[in-house]
Amino acid sequence: MSQELRKVSAEDFTKLTTERLPHQDIENALIAMGGGGVKGMDFKNNALKKAGWKGDRLTSFAKKPEDAAKAFNTVRKALKETDDKDGLIAALGK
């Protein structure tokens, strides 16, 4: 992946800020990789589940910030290895 993605911390999900947070960049990358729109959102949700996120699509990341940070950082690591959506899902399934 050409964009450098920053590491996600649990605090990112519970702080108020006007600056862009690392997980937002990862979410955008996943949505774009999945084709945008509803297909992109479905792909993002699937990738996060493969990365260990146990919540459903309506569960706030702030409810389980440690779990969310771990899942996002797993995706972040996999995105460094591939920019192919099938390759990403395969890397997350390891």
Structure tokens at 29: 């990358």
The pLDDT tens digits for 6-17 are: 999 999 999 999
- In this prediction the pTM is 0.92
Contact by Cβ (8 Å): 76, 62: no
Cα separation, 21 vs 50, whole angstroms: 22
Structure tokens at 58: 């309506």
Contact by Cβ (8 Å): 43, 31: yes
The pLDDT tens digits for 25-73 are: 999 999 999 999 999 999 999 999 999 999 987 899 999 999 999 999 9
pLDDT band at 1, cuts 50/70/90? low
- The pLDDT of residue 53: 97
- Sign of the C-alpha dihedral, residues 55, 51, 10, 80? negative
Tell me the chain's radius of gyration from C-alpha atoms.
Answer: 12
Amino acid at residue number 55: G
